[in-house]
Amino acid sequence: MATLGIPANTIAVLQKYNFNFQKKFGQNFLIDTHVLDKIIASAEVGKDDCVLEIGPGIGTMTQYLAENAREVVAVEIDKALIPILEDTLSEYDNVTVINEDILKVDINKIVEEKNNGQPIKVVANLPYYITTPIIMGLFESHVPLKSITIMVQKEVADRMQVGPGTKDYGALSLAVQYYAKPEIVANVPPNCFMPRPNVGSAVIRLTRYEKPPVEVEDEKYMFSIIRASFNQRRKTLINGLLNAGNLGITKEDILEVLEEMGLSATVRGEALTLEQFADLSNKLNQKKK
């Protein structure tokens, strides 16, 4: 099969099937073999690995994964791509394509069936509009994962790895850093894709922690607090928490805890570290009991 990372081969496949890019699925196909090599190397895909690929498109990266991994499960939402994938992946007997929305797939079941419940690796060139729900879904459902290596919009990659006090810091930064160690492994310019996106992209690897770096009594409660703190960025932390309305705490509770933590009553969410959010949520959780 012709390598799809070479632009002429991608064009040939798209013409053969009269494929139309779907705006709603945010489709941008990679046409750069160096970037593909880099993704496979960063994800450290080897012969023992079972890889879940999200959004295989026409199978460009899937071919590379199939060459390097033991088993690949590719989940593609666009049914127009299924016959194309059958064609471009026809040589590989270690690939399963599932025509489904990744947010609705039972990934635990896939891990059981294909990898005996052992941690898998996720590799994806993610559509920008749905990056956050996919990543959060993977982490929050506690699927056995070794790492997630993904191509995302550059600013989203930046957001995942920044710390407090920066303008990109927010709920996504904290969530990613609670579950995994983020590392940007490559910046990818728009001309590596077809069609060309309007923004730069980056490959980021999130290596899953065995256990999170902070001790939290109630993970869900901590994330509710984090989300409330960043819902209205210009507001103080207290206002954010009170406006959330579902946290079961009073203004007095919050003031007391902030004082205990040595933080000012006018502090904003973006000033707190992950450790401080864990501490805040543990203390507020005690109050609400």
Domain CATH number, residue 244: 1.10.8.100
Q: Is the dihedral of CA 166, 171, 177, 183 positive or negative?
A: negative
- Give residue 175's domain range: 7-208
Q: What order of strands is seen across the sheet that includes strand 201-208?
A: 95-99, 71-76, 50-54, 120-125, 145-153, 201-208, 180-188
What is the arithmetic mean of pLDDT over 182-208?
94
Q: Which of 181, 208, 235 is the last residue of a domain?
A: 208
Q: Are residues 223 and 202 in the same domain?
A: no
The yes-or-no verdict on residue 191 having pLDDT over 80 is: yes
pLDDT for position 108: 95
Q: Are residues 162 and 259 in the same domain?
A: no
Q: Would 149 be classed as within a structural domain?
A: yes
Q: Are residues 12 and 133 in the same domain?
A: yes
Q: CA-CA distance, 275 to 288, in Å (whole number)? A: 20
Q: What is the pLDDT of residues 85-100, one digit of tens each?
A: 999 999 999 999 999 9
Q: Are residues 25 and 79 in the same domain?
A: yes
Q: CA-CA distance, 119 to 143, in Å (whole number)? A: 8
Please check whether residue 121 is in contact with residue 51, taking contact to mean a CB–CB distance below 8 angstroms: yes
Q: Are residues 92 and 225 in the same domain?
A: no
Q: Are residues 71 and 202 in the same domain?
A: yes
Q: Which of 208, 230, 248 is the last residue of a domain?
A: 208
Q: Are residues 33 and 159 in the same domain?
A: yes
Q: Are residues 227 and 162 in the same domain?
A: no
Q: Would 185 be classed as within a structural domain?
A: yes
Q: Would 214 be classed as within a structural domain?
A: no
Residue type, 123: V
CATH code for the domain of 66: 3.40.50.150
Give 145's strand partners.
120
Q: Would 1 be classed as within a structural domain?
A: no
Q: CA-CA distance, 161 to 12, in Å (whole number)? A: 38
Q: Are residues 232 and 134 in the same domain?
A: no
Please name which of 226, 280, 277 lies closest in space to residue 255, comparing C-alpha atoms. 280
Q: What is the pLDDT of residues 128-172, one digit of tens each?
A: 778 888 998 899 888 999 999 999 999 999 999 999 988 899 999
**First-last CA distance in the chain:** 62
Q: Are residues 44 and 172 in the same domain?
A: yes
What is the arithmetic mean of pLDDT over 196-214?
94
Q: Tell if the pTM clears 0.85, that is, is over it.
A: yes
